[in-house]
Structure 1
Amino acid sequence: MAGSTGWTEPTTAGHTAAGDAWGRGSGQTPSEFLENPSQSSRLTAPFRKHVRPKKQHEIRRLGELVKKLSDLTGCTQVVDVGSGQGHLSRFMSLGLGLMVKSIEGDQRLVERAQRLDQELLQALEKEEKRNPQVVQTGPRHSPHHVVRWVDPMALCEELLLPLENSPQSGARLLLTGLHACGDLSVALLRHFCCCPEVAALASVGCCYMKLSDPGGYPLSQWVAGLPGYELPYRLREGACHALEEYAERLQKAGPGLRTHCYRAALETVIRHARPELRRPGVQGIPRVHELKIEEYVQRGLQRVGLDPQLPLNLAALRAHQAQENRVVAFFSLALLLAPLVETLILLDRLLYLQEQGFHAELLPIFSPELSPRNLVLVATKRPLGEAFCVLETEDS
């Protein structure tokens, strides 16, 4: 069940080809991108606008799974938690006809999502006028966006409230999150377990290094009973790296491999300047391989709020750079553990649900080449039996 096993590519008929499994580093391209690597052939043009290929693939696959799961469990409303700019919510509501509430803690992202909603509605209306045979069945419902920070350790009343145009009694909710960061994925699990209104769950996790300790891991009694179950920050952070992408970089053996060496050197400068500032997030620095190490460090210092003009020990930085090959070797060995760590975290969540009597599965729905965090945790409060197989199949 490691992060990227079991992915299956659809046949030309649109169904899963039995036994045609994706392994890690397969190097194949999903059929939806064969004609154009930047455009999914399985999404219409309005839903592709402003959406990168990776996200196109993710929202289509997860959206279709949520639609099927919603139909199977009789859910009246989908709640997309950590919805960001709303790409998944828009596809589920305006593309698949679901009633969707989007919850996001960043006001700016919500405002952006609302603007994109209106832009998409206008594009769909124009498309229908140009193409009269496209018939819209029923009224369109844009996602209902809510600015709200979800506390991982407490129930969120807003998350559970039905929409005004949903039945006020007997509401059945489906919770979903596309790469919900850190404790946000754990919050989805807790709401599913504690709230009778929530009938189903489809969660794709990410950012394991941001899990609270304790609280975010372990969740299950079984994993908590294992000797040495602890996962320090370094292991959890490593589990979020893309094994497939780094394997490709190793094969090319290009200058891009020095990124981790530069980042390690930057960390030594940060810890010398501010010992209490450990492992700060550093926004991506473009074209690292074209920079001198001191230039990279100066840009990195600025990104973490430190003075980029701090005096630097150039001899020490050059000595760090001389260790580049050793850093690559160390990082490669550490990355081999990533699937094992991710497996332990995801199985802990699966067991947590099963220990409480719920029905849960881990399903590989994304191509690992595009989306390394490719497993969705699906849970229901009543058994679906063979219906789980339907969730994995591709729509035509």
Structure 2
Amino acid sequence: MSYCCECDKERIKENLNKLLTACKDHEKLLRAYMLDFFVDNHWETLPKKWRDVLGTLTPEELGSWILYPELYEYKKVWPLSLLALRCAVRFHSIERQPAQEHWRDQALGFSKDCRHRNFLNCDLGRGELNRKLFSKHIKPKKFHEIEVMAKVTANCAKRLGCKFVVDIGSGLGHLGRILAFHYGLQVCCLEEQICLTEKAKKIDEQLRKLFEKSGRNIVPPVHINKSINTALDQNELIKILLDAFGLQFKEELEFGLVGLHPCGDLGPTLMRLLVDCPNAVFINVVGCCYMKLTEESSGCIQGYPMSCFVTGEIDTKNLSYEAREVSCHALEMYCDRLKKGCVDDLKIHCYRSTLECILIRHWPHLKHSGLKSIKHTQDLSFEKYAVEAVEKLAISLPAHDLLSDDVERRLLQWKNVVVFYSLRLLLAPLVESAILLDRLLFMEENGLPSMLIPAFDPQFSPRNHILLALKENK
């Protein structure tokens, strides 16, 4: 499903109820730690009929069933409860696949008359973006996100006649650079880390000189070191921006807010800033790190829930840390690995949960300890993986444990571990959809028309929804 507040308010409320109820019904699965698979015997917690079917699937079949159940060839009788769960996830979750034709041909109703709106494809009169020029120092995944985010932001700015943009958590300034150099916007980049700000300025200067040679006079972004948190004072921010843009009066300043994967509560903080600050006129924000959202607070600031509807009218509103954490995982990428049969890559959770049993047996206080991240595990035996993984714990694993019959028995169950993990990923879109729809309702409750756009390819960018809101009637 795709959503826009003004057209879908009641549908959003109804669906939020169903999403959160489904999360509550499968809370045990969502709360499960994968590293406790053997410690807590997770496999036995699944219904026997589920185990009987899922345990016989190949990784390729499992990946196909999760992503494309309508194309999967059912060769045996499946339990209706499992089929119903898959249908519910598919029906109630927000659409994740970018569908530009859908946006072009159907009303997403961004204003009261439900006129067609297209923030990805309208002609900005800027010509084609020089990808080779702007993609230096950027990985393809990140550039894919930045390019799309820049176009959506430029469309919002053009629509409102707004020429100022604030990029929060700007990093090396890649997004702000495209907005300034290609789209001609005046951009202020706020970044906490000084080292990133200094590097960003150097890249700006290199690019500015290239544009000067071609006869174009470009105003680079302004980079400022600033930490943005839930205690953000809008008056302080206004002063910073007036100075950055060389303005005297705040009446001259109307700006858009951009946040590309702000962590945890930062996304909700920016949304509240749009609501509270008269000078802020639009926002484009892509969420990230939902497990870091503050759920309960003694004050009025919390990351989830945001809307009055979820806060006051839904009893099953709580989402556990584990549920919010799994909602940040890469469903499409993982299922792609399943479908390709890359089984050696999939055994890492089995290795980790097997190692957890050894750790708890000898060092109970090390339960759920953070271990060294091991790359290329497909090339490692369990023994080599375990020794490398515990390096920073300063312990020596007993050799007889690493080669014991118990370890061998657990390692043979790697397919069950894959199935259990895959079921948790199957539920992940329910959790993310609930969080995003809660944010959408928050905007609507504050009189701001908004929409969720699945803008990025989820194969590259698992968190791929832009929440867009404008103060059109300002």
Question: Same fold per TM (> 0.5)?
Answer: yes
Tell me the CA shift for residue 3 of structure 1.
5.3
Tell me the CA shift for residue 245 of structure 1.
0.7
Given the alignment, which residue of 361, 366, 378 partners 2:451? 361
Whether 1:183 aligns to 2:271 is: no
1:210–1:318 Cα change, 3 Å = farther
What's the counterpart of residue 199 of structure 1?
281
Q: Measure the CA separation in 2 of the matches of 1:118 and 1:319.
A: 60
1:141–1:295 Cα change, 3 Å = farther
Question: Aligned with 2:393: secondary structure?
Answer: coil
- Deviations 1:57-110 (CA, angstroms, capped at 9, x unpaired): 111111011111112223242111111222111111122211111112222322
Q: Measure the CA separation in 2 of the matches of 1:164 and 1:306.
A: 47
- Deviations 1:348-387 (CA, angstroms, capped at 9, x unpaired): 1111111122221112221222222111111122359xxx
Tell me the CA shift for residue 298 of structure 1.
3.9
2:99 maps to amino acid: T
What's the counterpart of residue 324 of structure 2?
236
Please give the residue correspondences for 1:26-105 in structure 2 after superposition, counting only pairs within 5 Å.
Answer: 42-105=129-192
What's the counterpart of residue 245 of structure 1?
333
How many aligned positions are there?
Answer: 347
Q: Measure the CA separation in 2 of the matches of 1:270 and 1:82.
A: 38
Q: Measure the CA separation in 2 of the matches of 1:192 and 1:267.
A: 45
Tell me the CA shift for residue 295 of structure 1.
3.0
* 1:77–1:166 Cα contact (<8 Å) kept: no
1:175 maps to amino acid: L
1:165–1:212 Cα change, 3 Å = closer
Q: Measure the CA separation in 2 of the matches of 1:156 and 1:321.
A: 55
Tell me the CA shift for residue 247 of structure 1.
1.2
- Deviations 1:208-248 (CA, angstroms, capped at 9, x unpaired): 11112222111111112212111111111111111111111
- Deviations 1:293-351 (CA, angstroms, capped at 9, x unpaired): 2433444445xx53265657423654543331111000111111111111100001111
Moved more, 155-164 or 98-107: 155-164
TM-score, scaled relative to structure 1: 0.78
Given the alignment, which residue of 353, 368, 375 partners 1:286? 375
TM-score, scaled relative to structure 2: 0.66
Please give the residue correspondences for 1:325-364 in structure 2 after superposition, counting only pairs within 5 Å.
Answer: 325-364=415-454
Question: Aligned with 2:310: secondary structure?
Answer: helix
* 2:359–2:366 Cα contact (<8 Å) kept: no
Given the alignment, which residue of 198, 202, 214 partners 1:111? 198
Tell me the CA shift for residue 269 of structure 1.
6.4
Higher-Rg structure is 2
What's the counterpart of residue 168 of structure 1?
248
Question: Aligned with 1:151: secondary structure?
Answer: coil
Question: Aligned with 2:133: secondary structure?
Answer: helix
Question: Aligned with 1:379: secondary structure?
Answer: strand
Q: Measure the CA separation in 1 of the matches of 2:235 and 2:382.
A: 49
Given the alignment, which residue of 216, 220, 229 partners 1:142? 220
* 2:281–2:470 Cα contact (<8 Å) kept: yes
1:182 maps to amino acid: G
Tell me the CA shift for residue 292 of structure 1.
2.2
Q: Which is strand-richer, 1 or 2?
A: 1
* 1:359–1:383 Cα contact (<8 Å) kept: no
What's the counterpart of residue 54 of structure 2?
none
* 2:167–2:188 Cα contact (<8 Å) kept: yes
What's the counterpart of residue 349 of structure 2?
260
Q: Measure the CA separation in 1 of the matches of 2:234 and 2:365.
A: 36
* 1:4–1:373 Cα contact (<8 Å) kept: no
Q: Measure the CA separation in 1 of the matches of 2:468 and 2:132.
A: 29
Question: Aligned with 2:459: secondary structure?
Answer: coil
Q: Measure the CA separation in 2 of the matches of 1:264 and 1:159.
A: 47
Question: Aligned with 2:334: secondary structure?
Answer: helix
What's the counterpart of residue 58 of structure 2?
none
What's the counterpart of residue 382 of structure 1?
472
Q: Which is helix-richer, 1 or 2?
A: 2
Q: Measure the CA separation in 1 of the matches of 2:321 and 2:369.
A: 10
Please give the residue correspondences for 1:8-27 in structure 2 after superposition, counting only pairs within 5 Å.
Answer: 8-9=99-100, 18=105
Q: Measure the CA separation in 2 of the matches of 1:274 and 1:96.
A: 57
- Deviations 1:135-174 (CA, angstroms, capped at 9, x unpaired): 52xx312221122221224436554332444433221121
Tell me the CA shift for residue 116 of structure 1.
2.4
* 1:270–1:301 Cα contact (<8 Å) kept: no
* 1:173–1:198 Cα contact (<8 Å) kept: yes
Q: Measure the CA separation in 2 of the matches of 1:179 and 1:327.
A: 30
* Structure 2, unpaired ranges of 5+: 3-92, 107-127, 297-301
* 2:188–2:244 Cα contact (<8 Å) kept: no
Tell me the CA shift for residue 6 of structure 1.
5.2
Tell me the CA shift for residue 195 of structure 1.
1.4
What's the counterpart of residue 25 of structure 1?
none
Question: Aligned with 1:7: secondary structure?
Answer: coil
Provide the identity percentage.
Answer: 36
